[in-house]
Amino acid sequence: MELSCEQKDNLLLMGTLIKGVAHNINTPLSAIMGLSEILQFRIQKLKNSYGKQLNGIQEEFDKIEKDLSIILQNSERVSHIVKNAAQKCINEQASAQQPLNLSMLLKEEIHFLEADMMFKHRIEKILHLREDLPPINGVYSHFSYSFYHLLENSKRAMELTERKQLSVISDYDGKNIVIKIHDTGCGIDMMKSERMMNFLNAPADHAAADMNDFGGIAVIKKLLQPYNPVYCITSEPGDTTVTVLLPLTSTPANTLS
């Protein structure tokens, strides 16, 4: 499951391209936002100076001001999305270990998923993310990919269900960082969930033969293996929870890149 040199080069190239695109979008976007603010100022100046003479067009000026406010609000949203995407590319390319706040990382992944309108508008999100979560020393992309995949699985499981509620919890129990992702999706067959949990918790050499059977879950196992996680999966229709315990008492191996 290790990335080949060609795959790593492609990811690096993609990250560089996205950062370039982000820069090229931000430049004209900044001009749009700046000119909109100038127009707002000029309209307000006209209204203050010629208020009594504007009788018939006062309402039109108000509409223009409202439209400019909408332009500015949406431009700021686009700017925020672009900056987040560029920063995510920078973080994803970092291969060195660093102290990570997994609550912040979960927030970033959830925010990134909100580019999907179904996820943003139709799924109720309940977040209980501990702000003072102890940092874990690791590689950013190992956790970002793993959390993204688990959240994406929950999103897909809820696509056809009437109730769409996603709960994400991060906590610390004194020994482990505890991550829980719960959804009200279609659920996982009991035999499949047990097999999946056994696979995730099995030693790497024992699970090698099954790596090709579990797709993205196998990649999560590979990426988080150095952190000695313990997984728990409980599932029935409308009630699925994936729990990941990450001990802070052990030091990850130096083979994280």
- What span, in angstroms and rounded, lies between the C-alpha atoms of 60 and 49? 16
Answer yes or no: pTM beyond 0.75: no
* Assigned superfamily of 98-247: Histidine kinase-like ATPase, C-terminal domain (3.30.565.10)
Return the closest-CA partner of residue 171 out of 251, 234, 243, 99: 243
What sign results for the dihedral spanned by CA atoms 44, 49, 50, 55? positive
d(CA 165, CA 185): 8
Tell me the per-residue pLDDT of 182-237, one tens digit each, with 9 for 90 and over: 999 999 998 999 999 999 999 877 655 566 667 788 889 999 999 999 999 999 99
Phi–psi pair at 39, nearest 5 degrees: -60, -40
Q: Which whole number is the average pLDDT over 150-179?
A: 96
**Residue ranges of domains in the chain:** 5-93, 98-247
Per-residue confidence band for 125, with pLDDT thresholds at 50, 70 and 90: very high
One-letter amino acid identity for 186?
C
The Cβ-side half-sphere exposure at 95, using a 13 Å CA radius, reads 8
For residue 1, the model assigns a pLDDT of 42
User: Using the 8-state DSSP alphabet, how is residue 173 labeled?
Assistant: -
> What is the per-residue pLDDT across 6-35, written as a single tens digit (0 to 9) for each?
455 555 555 555 666 666 677 777 878 888
